[in-house]
Structure 1
Amino acid sequence: MASWPLVRAVLACAILVPVLAEEEESSPVAIAISVMLMGSIGFQMLMFYLVNWPDRDIQRYSWQVISQTISIFCAVLLFQGCNGMVEEKLIKGSSELVEVGIDMAQMIFWLVCMQVVLAITSGALNEWLGAVDDMEKVELNVKSWSVLFSHVAGFAAINAWGSLQQKFLNANPWQALLVVPLGSAGLFLLYHIFDLIREKIAHMDDGEKDEYEEKWDEETEEAENDVAGLCMSFLTVQAIRFGISGFMPNQEGIEPWAVAISHSPHQCHLLIGSGLIFFILTLAMLNLTRIWEVPERLDRLIDILNNYLTFGLSWCLFYGVRWRICATHFTHENALLMVAIALFLSGVSFLFIFVLDKGVNVTEPNRMPATCFMDGLAGDMQVEDNHLFGEDSEIAEGATEKMITGLGILIGFSWEQSFDTAVDVVAEGLRHDCPPTISKMLMSICLVVIVFPAWRIYILPTERELSEETTEEGAEKAVLKEYAKQHFDLFLHGQTDESDLDRAHLLMKRHRRAAHGIKHPGSHMPQLKHLMVTSSGIVEVDAPEEHRNKGEKKKKKNAGHKKDLSVSLLG
């Protein structure tokens, strides 16, 4: 119920702006921009709160959602711009069979591009292209391009198999659903061919796979799994929408305006309920993989099914909310409607992050005052505290990760839809100066050129750093960074006592050794002693035995790879 005031606020703003602008006869673009300007301030401030929240889990989930949102946004804009040119230059005026063939060729083109780009960025082709950077940089490069091209190829696959669904399998919902097994078989055949080619290339030089070629194969298979899950889930939801409403949406999931505003609350609830079924099946899959040792040959199938169910949840929630908001008839302008939907879904999704985490403990002594409103928001709905996803921590963590991925797709696709509508309107307004398809492609490319580097340089590394804190090595480094920050603050503070600075420096050396697994110098040099002059005399500090005992205590305390960062350097 906490989300309904946000709904009313968004709809009130959306209604108020056109009323105030009636005298000036504002265009749909002006109205949409006005609503976006008002909503963007609150939306940006909400993101600042979330990414700087004292709870590290909240920070991690927030950065994951933001990263997923930006990657989906860039991928869809890039594909839509290129696909518009293909439809205008190659498909327009062609027969249905030719249209399907061209769409299939476009899908194969993007899949091949994905293979080539990942081969280059992973360093698998370093024999031909020269030396590559260290593996840490390689992983960041290949991950960024993998996410972008997997989503672009995924929407190309949606367009290709959706074309087949629209032209030849549109008689009834069951026939529309038939494209899912057909598309899965087609993609698996392509994946098998690509796998044979990768193996051939990997063994061309020395007959063995090096670490870069292994990385290429691993990241490419993961990207291919995303393509299959994204595509097949969308086509499934298309058939579900057809079955619920009796009308088949187009390849992009768009319905005529008269149909879009005619859905009943019952139909909206059925579609959202279908999304909950996808989520329940996701939990079932997580439990199945926990209690049943999956054969290695089925690992990839399980990954694709997990992606399929996660994406299916996102599509159902997106279109269910869209149906419900359209049914309110609060506006007749599509541009304004898309902006309102994007703002609403963004606000609800970010607030839902708190439900997925236990939040900040009320009894925590150093909690920030700003966390007080969370106590009423989360209440008894805290997932981790009440074991909503089961007693097993791996199941709870896996379910949370799936929900976070789904929320990222939800927000990303909603904002892309609003920007795509705005780009269409602007392109139509520039019709006399530039063909709409060209202007739309240019605007899409410009947006991607601006957004993608920022995501690659700033957002993705932050997300990966926070995600690595769930591992043992990453958790040790996170604690070390917190100690280093306190060490820095002690030196900046003019009132810090000199003895405290000395002691803090000694402790920082100890924590650094623990984080990097470095042995104490005294462990192999018994004659070396670390002495400190105090008011009571000269004492030995940080002896090897003292370091070893404290290190063992710390490891026991921090078991489970999830460390509490509320540590004190001098405490």
Structure 2
Amino acid sequence: MSRRVVPAIAAAPLAAALGEAVPPPTFSADADFCVAVMLLGSVAFDMMLFYWLNYSDDSIRAAAWSVLSTSICTFTGVLIGMSWNQSFVYFILGPPEVAGPVKTILGNLLASIGWYILLQVVLMVVSGAVGLRPNSIVTIVLNLKCFGMLLGITTGASSLTMWGLIQTLAPHNLAATVGVLVSCVCTTGFMYRTGAWVRHFVAHGDGVVDEYERLWDYFVQETEDAALALSLSYLLVQSTCQTLMGWMPLKTGQAPPGVTPTRGDVLGLLVCGLGYVLLIPVLDLCVSHPKWPRPKSCAKMVVGKAGAFCLLFSMTWAVADILDSTAPPAQTVLALGTTFLGMVIILVLEYLKDLECTGRKFDQEAKALIGPVAVLIGFGWKQAFVGSLTTITAKVRVMPIPFQTTCMAAVMVAVVVPAW
């Protein structure tokens, strides 16, 4: 009996639950080959992290820990947000192909609003604005950074799922894709203004705004910006692909069925990603209005993360030339590649920071790249984990696929988050 398997077939159930088209199998991998790739990838990954986190240079080691922490948060937040959206829509409306696109969008909208409300409530309690107040401000700030970052990315991933679906269903032309971007900004901005009004009402309930309420407001705004930047950067890259190549990638960055990215597509998207990253210092130089610090900071996050998505999609297409991009071996290679590339970027930035010709301003711009590098690594890990879940749920099914995926993601998060 042949030991050949077609891992791409395993992607069908989860892709159907997501409402995505399933690319046809393009590669048949021997089981021994799959195990070998996974084993070598795991060992290389562990050794690379060990070397990176124990680097002799203090600044590089600190940057490595910062990137790793943010990457873990990105990985878990995106995994929770997207898997919960799938289960929520399935539970309320049924499978996407039965519910239809409009109801699916409305279900994702409700899920996104729910995450935003949870973000407000959790940070309100953790900050001490309402309820018991911890004795140490340092403890409050650390808890706000932890839960704020995690919930911000989760909210952003939930919103990304909804707006990505809207952009996919909209006409594939420049006006429509830009219209989706503008709609995302306006709709999310209205939701944020409503949240700000609620915070103002709660903070002024006793006539005095204390430091706990100020901390609540500050960290909510910070997480709101991170969530909006995640959605906008993804939509921006999808619009870029549509403009340059005439087609949009799937949610995972893979080319749609019947489309094979050329080397020119890969290089073109890489150049666009570099251009987005270079916009970070340009925004610092050109936007200096004192009343625009928050829009400026959010815009820098958007272009930085857009550069990360461009790089991630390009690497996905490059790996797809060799392996089936829907199979776990290819996704392991992609996760390993994004981690290695993230390490190289940090090493290069730290080397440039140590040069005499660079100053404090360059150090600030280099620090702004921590988030994009973390997005690159975090989404690379997320794709590898989702690929593994897809393979498992295709072989072993004890409940509807969205629920089973969410439960397995919850188990993974329960292991990762406490250690993080």
Q: Give TM-score, length-normalised by structure 2.
A: 0.88
Structure 1 pair 32–304 and aligned structure 2 pair: CA distance change class (3 A):
farther
* Aligned residues with identical type, % of pairs: 24
Picking from 342, 346, 353, the partner of 1:349 is 342
> Residue 340 in 1 paired to residue 333 in 2?
yes
Pair 83,248 (structure 1): closer, same or farther in 2 beyond 3 Å: same
Q: 2:298 aligns with which of 294, 304, 308?
A: 304
Listed as ranges, the gaps of 5+ residues in structure 2 are 11-30
Equivalent residue number for residue 409 of structure 1: 375
- In 2, distance between residues paired with 1:283 and 1:32? 43
What is the match of residue 556 of structure 1?
A: none
Post-superposition offset of 1:333: 5.4
Residue 73 of structure 1 and its aligned partner are, at CA, apart by 0.8
What secondary structure, in the 3-state scheme, does the structure 1 residue paired with 2:350 have? coil
Within 5 Å, which residues of 2 pair with 1:426-445?
Answer: 426-431=392-397, 433-445=398-410
For residue 26 of structure 1, report the CA deviation from its aligned partner: 6.0
Q: SS at 2:369's partner residue?
A: helix
Q: Distance in 1 between matches of 2:83 and 2:326?
A: 22
- Give, in whole Å, the separation in 1 of the partners of 2:185 and 2:88: 24
Aligned-partner Cα distance in 2 for 1:160–1:332: 24
- Residues in 2 aligned to 1:139 and 1:442: alpha-carbon distance in whole angstroms: 30
Query: 1:198/1:235 Cα in 2 relative to 1: closer, same or farther (>3 Å)?
Result: same
Does residue 394 of the first structure (1) align with residue 360 of the second (2)?
Answer: yes
Residue 45 in structure 1 maps to residue 47 in structure 2: yes
Distance between the aligned counterparts of 1:95 and 1:322, measured in 2? 29
For 1:239 and 1:120, how far apart are their aligned partners in 2? Answer: 39
Paired residue for 1:124?
129
5 Å matches for 1:137-152?
137-152=139-154
| Separation of aligned partners in 2, 1:114 and 1:288 | 33
Max radius of gyration: which structure? 1
- The 3 A distance-change label for structure 1 pair 434 and 95 is closer
Q: Per-residue CA shift, 1:150-181, capped at 9, x if unaligned?
A: 001001111122222222x2232442122111
Say whether the 8 Å CA contact 1:154–1:226 is kept in structure 2. Answer: yes
Aligned residue in 2 for 1:283: 281
What SS does the corresponding residue of 1:434 show, helix, strand or coil? coil
Partner residue, 2:213: 213
Cα distance in 2 for residues equivalent to 1:243 and 1:54: 45
Letter in 2 for 1:343: L
Matched AA of 1:434: M
1:63 aligns with 2:65: yes
Matched, 1:320 2:314: yes
Does the CA contact (< 8 Å) of 2:233 and 2:303 recur in 1?
Answer: yes
User: Displacement, 1:386?
Assistant: 6.6
- TM-superposed CA distance for 1:85, in Å, is 1.0
Could you report, residue by residue, the CA deviation over 1:384-422 in whole angstroms, capped at 9, with x for unpaired residues? 4174xxx4x232112211222211110110010010111
1:485: which partner in 2? none
Cα distance, 1:395–1:332 mapped onto 2, change above 3 Å? closer
Among 110, 121, 133, the residue aligned to 1:105 = 110
Conservation of the 8 A alpha-carbon contact between 1:32 and 1:339: no
Across the aligned residues of Structure 1 and Structure 2, the Cα RMSD in angstroms comes to: 2.1
Per the TM alignment, residue 39 of structure 1 is displaced from its structure 2 partner at its CA by: 1.8
2-structure distance, mates of 1:139, 1:83:
29
- CA distance in 1 between counterparts of 2:243 and 2:162 reads 21
| CA distance, structure 1, for counterparts of residue 307 and residue 146 of structure 2 | 24
Matched, 1:295 2:290: yes
* Residue 424 (1) aligns with residue 390 (2): yes
**SS of the residue aligned with 1:35?**
helix
1:123-151 alpha-carbon deviations (Å, 9 max, x no partner): 1112xxx3323111111111100011100
Shift of 1:86: 2.2
Residue 155 (structure 1) aligned to one of 154, 157, 161 = 157
- Cα distance in 1 for partners of 2:297, 2:116 equals 19
Deviation at residue 275 of structure 1 after TM alignment: 0.7
Q: Deviations over 1:25-79 (max 9, x none)?
A: 4674965554232122222222222222221110111111101110011112112
Call closer, same or farther: CA 1:280–1:185 in 2, change over 3 Å.
same
Inter-CA distance 251–100: structure 2 relative to 1 (3 Å threshold): farther
Distance, in Å, in 1 between the alignment partners of 2:34 and 2:408 is 17
**1:227 counterpart letter in structure 2:** A
The residue that corresponds to 1:9 in the other structure is none
Cα deviations by residue, 1:234-264 (Å, 9 ceiling, x for unpaired): 00101111222322234554433542xx111
Contact 1:81 1:445 in 2 (8 A): no
What is the TM-score when the length of structure 1 is the normalising length? 0.66
Distance 1:346 1:441 in 2: 25
CA gap of 1:331–1:190, structure 2 versus 1, over 3 A, is closer
Unaligned ranges ≥5, structure 1? 1-21, 359-381, 456-571
- Aligned partner of 1:230 in structure 2 is 230
2:269 maps to: 271
Comparing 250-259 with 56-65, greater Cα deviation is found at 250-259
Q: Return the offset for 1:303.
A: 1.4
**Paired residues of 1:287 and 1:395 also in contact (CA < 8 A):** no
CA distance in 2, matches of 1:340, 1:263: 19
1:447 equivalent to 2:417? Answer no
Distance 1:443 1:88 in 2: 16
Q: Please tell me the residue identity of whatever aligns with 1:267.
A: D
Cα distance in 2 for partners of 1:124, 1:254 equals 44
Show CA shifts across 1:254-279 (max 9, x none): 433542xx111111111011111111
